[in-house]
Amino acid sequence: MLTDRERQRIEAEVRLYPHPRAAVPEALKIVQDHRGWVPDEAVREIAELLGLSPATVDSTATFYNMILREPTGRHVIFICDNVSCWVTGYHAIRDHLCERLGVALGETTEDKRFTLLPAACLGECDRAPAMLIDGDVYGNLTPEMLNDILARYD
Ligand code: FES
């Protein structure tokens, strides 16, 4: 069930748009801010609140790969696999992260500390390869930098 705070924030957001459908991405982000991910029940309630079908809200959630539809670890790593990152070292960064964390892309570490996910361009192409951990962007990555960066997240 949406909390009062989530509901208030979504209702405030809807007022900024000419059509409720345009508020769906922000509504999903609001729920994710509060819970870390967006469960099915929240999708249904956002739909009801905005007067849309659950399928419409769900398709928006599916379109945006940073909307998380399953529970995650305490920290979420998005590693960019788009063109600039792909040609400047993505594979070495991905392989190091997978090995260090003991997971494949899409998985969460056993201790629930990290979830490692692929991402489309993070808008940091001039600093490729890049990744995002929670709200922090890291660019010009090399495998040697990764252990120090991961150590910043408990
Ligand atoms: S391609 Fe990776 S940040 Fe743009």
Q: Does the CB atom of residue 80 touch ligand 1 within 6 A?
A: yes
CA of 121 to the centre of ligand 1 (A): 4
Which residues fall within 8 angstroms of residue 108, CB to CB, at 6 or more apart? 71, 72, 73, 114, 115, 116
Residue 69 included in any domain:
no
Domain count of the chain?
A: 2
Interatomic CA distance for residues 17 and 26, integer angstroms: 11
46-99 pLDDT, tens digit each? 999 999 999 999 999 988 888 999 999 999 999 999 999 999 999 999 999 999
- Domain ends where: 13, 43, 63? 63
CATH of residue 14: 1.10.10.1590
CA of 118 to the centre of ligand 1 (A): 11
134-146 pLDDT, tens digit each? 989 999 999 999 9
Assess whether 91 and 144 both reside in one domain: yes
CA of 84 to the centre of ligand 1 (A): 5
Assess whether 83 and 58 both reside in one domain: no
Assess whether 59 and 79 both reside in one domain: no
Domain that holds residue 109: 75-150
Chain CA centroid to CA 89, Å: 22
CA of 109 to the centre of ligand 1 (A): 25
124 within 8 A of 139, measured Cβ to Cβ: yes
Assess whether 95 and 54 both reside in one domain: no
Q: Does the CB atom of residue 121 touch ligand 1 within 6 A?
A: yes
pLDDT, averaged across the chain:
96
- Domain ends where: 15, 42, 63? 63
Residue 37 included in any domain:
yes
Residue 83 included in any domain:
yes
pTM comes to 0.86
